[in-house]
Amino acid sequence: MTDLNSAVEINFDDSIEESEVVDLYAANAWSSAKKPNELVAALQNSHSLVTARIAGKLVGIANAISDGHLVVYYPHLLVHPENHGQGIGSRIMAAMRGRYGSFHQQMLTADVDSLGFYEKIGFERAGKTIPMWVYGGDDH
Ligand SMILES: CC(C)(COP(=O)(O)OP(=O)(O)OC[C@H]1O[C@@H](n2cnc3c(N)ncnc32)[C@H](O)[C@@H]1OP(=O)(O)O)[C@@H](O)C(=O)NCCC(=O)NCCS
């Protein structure tokens, strides 16, 4: 039996190709797949970028935006639908939290369907705060 945990490679600062990124975002029906230039530039300019690969195939990705000291925001985390429930999202976020886990404020905007996931890995609803945005997508 394949040991899936060891088959998945988690890396910081991996190089990414536009086509594999678009495939992963489109597979999850994320609207930023329709803005490939901005999407790849945004990922590459993040404070941190974590990828998950199985035999070279990009199966998960997450980025972090941060001031490097106090605050981190996690804009994107997604795992290919064929690989959901295999511990990949947890491992990506464990890598991120290895870097930012001691920061005073660690924020994200959770899709309602992913609430249970984030609660399992230690996030909670953000007190009395309410997320606000100006959003150019059509997928929420
Ligand atoms: C949410 C997401 C990143 C989770 O990644 P994943 O690799 O499938 O999650 P894991 O396998 O690491 O799951 C870890 C735990 O969370 C649970 N979990 C995973 N997704 C869940 C969900 N949507 N709701 C409730 N629990 C969930 C798992 O059952 C597992 O529990 P266990 O430790 O008791 O076995 C992934 O499903 C995904 O990419 N979804 C689409 C994009 C998305 O919604 N991203 C987050 C938006 S902000």
pLDDT band at 3 (very low <50, low <70, confident <90, very high): low
Atom 17 of ligand 1: nearest residue by CA position: 117
Residue written as token pair 């890396």 = 11
DSSP for residue 83: G
Encode pLDDT of 90-115 as tens digits: 999 999 999 999 999 999 999 999 99
Question: What is the per-residue pLDDT for 5?
Answer: 74
Residue 66's nearest CA partner among 56, 53, 75, 54 is 75
pLDDT for residue 2 is more than 60: no
Mean pLDDT along residues 62-77: 98
| Torsion angles phi and psi, residue 14, rounded to 5 | -70, 155
CA of 60 to the centre of ligand 1 (A): 12
CA distance 127 to 75: 19
**What residue ranges line ligand 1, CB within 6 angstroms?**
28, 77-79, 84-90, 110-111, 113-114, 116-117, 120
Reduce the DSSP state of residue 67 to 3 states and report it.
coil
Question: What is the CATH topology of the domain spanning 4-120?
Answer: Aminopeptidase (3.40.630)
Question: What is the per-residue pLDDT for 1?
Answer: 45
Mean pLDDT along residues 23-43: 97
Residue ranges per structural domain of the chain: 4-120
Which of 5, 82, 117, 125 for mutating ligand 1's site (highest number of atoms within 8 Å of CB)? 117
CA distance 25 to 92: 16
Reduce the DSSP state of residue 55 to 3 states and report it.
coil
Please report the atom of ligand 1 found closest to the CA of residue 114: 23
